[in-house]
Amino acid sequence: MKSDTCVTLLEKKLSLDKESVIRFLNSVVAGIVEELIEKGEISVKGLGYFKVVYIPFTKAVQGDVVHALPPRKNIVFLTRPVVDSGVLRIIGCKTGLPEKDAEIFYKSLARYFRDTLTKKQELSLEGLGEFTNVDGKYVFVPDKTLQEIVNNSYRNLSAFEIMKQ
């Protein structure tokens, strides 16, 4: 995560040095990614809900050509209120912060995420993806490497075309 605003906020709230905050943020995002890969979904307070969805084999006919697309998985983001989040547990496990400090970290991070999304500012979570403005819409774009990881079982499948008889 590359946000000086977030780093500065957490430095002040937790009385930590910049390098420790950056290391903790990177560890937390890595934990979020690990849980998303392992469980196929994760709720993040302040952001919303990430889910790995299966897209089955599809075909499209264009004139005499049939375009066949293999099955694949995609990471989607849904804006919805999050009541329960595994992120507090991830913060505790990944940072080793005492429970009180982990709670402060969690609340500060959730508030930062919520404020950033409300203002439709760009937010990059390295390894997970980016919230960015695409053609006038604020969207989540998954990290390319993460997409490759969730599609590992389909890596040897490729789209193909066949001529209709």
Taking only the tens place, the pLDDT of each residue in 120-143 is: 888 888 889 988 878 877 888 999
pTM of the model: 0.80
Q: 155: Cβ–Cβ under 8 A, 6 or more apart, which residues?
A: 148
CA 156/CA 87 separation, integer angstroms = 34
Q: What is the mean pLDDT of the chain?
A: 86
Bigger pLDDT: 98 or 47? 98
Residue 85 has pLDDT above 80, yes or no: no
Mean pLDDT of 71-95: 84
Domain boundaries, the chain: 4-53+81-150
CA separation, residue 17 to residues 7, 13, 23, 83 (Å): 9, 11, 10, 30
Q: 110: Cβ–Cβ under 8 A, 6 or more apart, which residues?
A: 44, 45, 46, 85, 87
pLDDT, position 52? 94
- Please give the backbone phi and psi of residue 10, each rounded to the nearest 5 degrees, phi first: -70, -35
